[in-house]
A and B are shown apart, each in its own frame.
Chain A
Amino acid sequence: MGLSSGKFGKFGSRFVPETLMGPLIELEREFYVARRDPAFRKEFDYYLKNYCGRPTPLFYAENLSQVYKVKLYLKREDLNPTGAHKITNCLGQALLAKRLGKKRLIAETGAGQHGIAVATVAALFGLECTIYMGEADMKRQALNLSKMRLLGAEVIKVTSGSKTLKDATNEAMRDWVTNVRTSHYLLGSAVGPHPYPLMVREFQSVIGKEVKKQIKKKEGRLPDYLVACIGGGSNSIGLFHSFLKENGVKKIGVEAAGKGQNTSFHALSLLKGKLGIFHGAYTYVLQNEEGQILDSYSISAGLDYPGVGPELVYLMKAGKILVEGVDDQLALEAFNDLARWEGIIPSLESSHAVAWVKKFEGFKKGEIVIVNLSGRGDKDIAINEVKRCKDLKQ
């Protein structure tokens, strides 16, 4: 599926300025060579084990299982050194960038999790690093901004458009168009032009591979549900991919419904978007009748993106995954639930996945649910506090 053509069904491909075609073809070629090169695999695995501490635990959330009335396991991607699953893809791509002789990494970031992961691998491998971050996101994620700078990255404020992830991605792509000879664009999600969706999925699929082994060991069987949030789609495709042939395992992708499915403040690219060409891919995107891209909205910066990975579009259309929406309010409730019952502070992104489990009423007795806890929530505590104060006032 989509290996050489860069398409998943009819979705994906690459729609980019000609300047980027050469570099994308070069990157694709190197990726295909590297993925079959035992030395590359070995080096990647070495860093996953020794730098990230993989495998991450699969934790049985016993307390919350009683509250939510289902057997709930959490894949603890939040325990990664940079606080989210993003580091895995960054290690893989940085190793590729080194093979290609690139001296500099460029990246976009929304919440800052991907930016920190890129800044981290840049420091680790001695590469220069420039991160583009929307002005609005800089304000809501001030701590992450400091972390990136501490790690030696240059962080550039993006003031165009909605001043969030979409515009940061535009600026990162423009930088790449300009500095393509020396720089690698380290795209953080399973979006964009081929080979990014494929490459990011391949690096992140370690999540699902580990889960499969871990749950078999703990329960002697596969789970009934896999649940993950969807922004661009890297953590969900990473979890789902190893289970795509297991039809008995239901895969639930949770998009951010923001202020509600029926408002215009959401990030429901799969549920409410239309087919279009955005950030280099033929995919679902939030757009108006004129084909202009709309601003998305979510309380969680990491889900606040109007596009989505083309493979998820393909899987949704093929009925292989089910897509649901969870709004800000419910996500915050799940955020607080997990903190109170398990002592785990999840990211607001992952809280959307937990929240789906909270609201779903169709579980049968003894069923097993695995939620990808893709990131930790230190960055979101202030947002939660503000929201709580507002609620108290009302």
Chain B
Amino acid sequence: MQRLEAITEGIRQRGKKALIPFFTAFYPTERDFAELLIAAQQSGADLVEIGLPFSDPIADGKFIQHSSAWVLEKDFKLSGFISFFKEFRKNLTVPVVIMSYLNPVYRYGFDRFADFMEEENISGILFPDLPVEETRFLRNYFKKRNIAVINMIAPSTDGKRIKLIAKNSEGFIYMVSAFGVTGVRNKIAPELRETIDRVKSITDKPLYAGFGISTPPQAAQIARDVDGVIVGSAIIKIIMGREKNFSIKEVIEFLKAMRGAL
């Protein structure tokens, strides 16, 4: 297992800001998803985040809601994704982390899922509905396999919680860069800067920002203060509404523009 801390530390030591594209598993199809992962790898992604769909994604805005509903409608099965990934893994050199709401993984079994992650060298997992206080009950499943459990800090997180999360989050800290759900936004929340400064005064763990970052100038602006940028909704926006004939070139151009901005 390639440890996430080593990966994120390595990116920093190379003097790079990390680019982390997010893709919903099997969106819009299994084949397109595979091509998107390869495209991300070739466009300079430092890490890719794969989102597993959930029927009730309360932290997500319209784009990720749409991609989740889309694949569930097409009868997405976790076991199907696992079989696919076991086959596909060899094509990826870029490190992978997984994002999932708790319930699908809970139902599948944390232990069994952690086994899969270990076997396929998936370095970290992030649950958007898991607060740091409840991380303890599942950390052991992942810790003993050297899989990082990543926690989030939001603009509403106070100083005491920032300390707790900074201490607990493994691999990197996910900085929620907006008040609200995931999605494309024109502006970055003013409180964000303050929270980032606070986090940085407490810890030197890598800090990656996500939620609402949708353009290269935004990415460039925010990357001055953090170690990396996570971008999801803006990619789905390119595909949404033309799932059958979207242009993968457009996705690649977008990722390259983001890469260039960082």
The answer to the question of B130 belonging to the interface, with a C-beta cut-off of 8 Å to chain A, is yes
* Contact digits for A283-322, partner B, Cβ 8 Å, 1 yes 0 no: 0010101111100000000000000000000000000000
State A278–B108 Cα separation when bound (angstroms): 15
The answer to the question of A355 belonging to the interface, with a C-beta cut-off of 8 Å to chain B, is no
State A282–B152 Cα separation when bound (angstroms): 20
B56 near A18 (CB under 8 angstroms)?
no
* A15 to B: closest C-beta gap in Å: 5
The answer to the question of A21 belonging to the interface, with a C-beta cut-off of 8 Å to chain B, is yes
State A16–B155 Cα separation when bound (angstroms): 15
Q: Which residues of B contact A178 (CB under 8 A)?
A: 179-181
The answer to the question of B72 belonging to the interface, with a C-beta cut-off of 8 Å to chain A, is yes
Q: Which residues of A contact B65 (CB under 8 A)?
A: 160
* B67 to A: closest C-beta gap in Å: 13
- In chain A, positions 1-32 with a C-beta closer than 8 Å to chain B are 13-23
* A43 to B: closest C-beta gap in Å: 28
Q: Which residues of A contact B216 (CB under 8 A)?
A: none
B104 near A290 (CB under 8 angstroms)?
yes
The answer to the question of A49 belonging to the interface, with a C-beta cut-off of 8 Å to chain B, is no
The answer to whether A287 and B134 touch (CB under 8 A), given A278-B56, A293-B56, is no
The answer to the question of B1 belonging to the interface, with a C-beta cut-off of 8 Å to chain A, is no
Question: Between A and B, how many residue pairs show CB distances below 8 Å?
Answer: 116
Q: Which residues of A contact B157 (CB under 8 A)?
A: 18, 21-22
Q: Which residues of B contact A19 (CB under 8 A)?
A: 59, 154-156, 176, 179-180
The answer to the question of A276 belonging to the interface, with a C-beta cut-off of 8 Å to chain B, is yes
State A111–B105 Cα separation when bound (angstroms): 32
The answer to the question of A161 belonging to the interface, with a C-beta cut-off of 8 Å to chain B, is yes
The answer to whether A177 and B179 touch (CB under 8 A), given A22-B158, A160-B65, A290-B77, is yes
The answer to the question of A279 belonging to the interface, with a C-beta cut-off of 8 Å to chain B, is yes
- In chain A, positions 250-292 with a C-beta closer than 8 Å to chain B are 274, 276-280, 285, 287, 289-292
- Chain B interface size, as a band, is 35 or more
State A13–B128 Cα separation when bound (angstroms): 15
Task: Tell which of B61, B102, B179, B180 touches A15, judged by Cβ atoms closer than 8 Å.
Answer: B102
B103 near A278 (CB under 8 angstroms)?
yes
Identify 30 residue pairs between A and B in the complex whose beta-carbon atoms are under 8 Å apart, listed by A's number.
A15-B129, A17-B129, A17-B152, A17-B176, A18-B132, A18-B151, A18-B152, A18-B165, A19-B156, A19-B176, A20-B156, A21-B131, A21-B161, A22-B161, A160-B69, A170-B57, A174-B180, A177-B179, A276-B107, A277-B103, A277-B129, A278-B103, A287-B103, A290-B104, A291-B78, A291-B105, A291-B106, A291-B108, A292-B55, A292-B104
Binding site for B on A (CB under 8 A): 13-23, 160-161, 166-167, 170, 173-174, 177-181, 274, 276-280, 285, 287, 289-293
> 3 nearest interchain CB pairs?
A291-B107, A178-B180, A291-B104
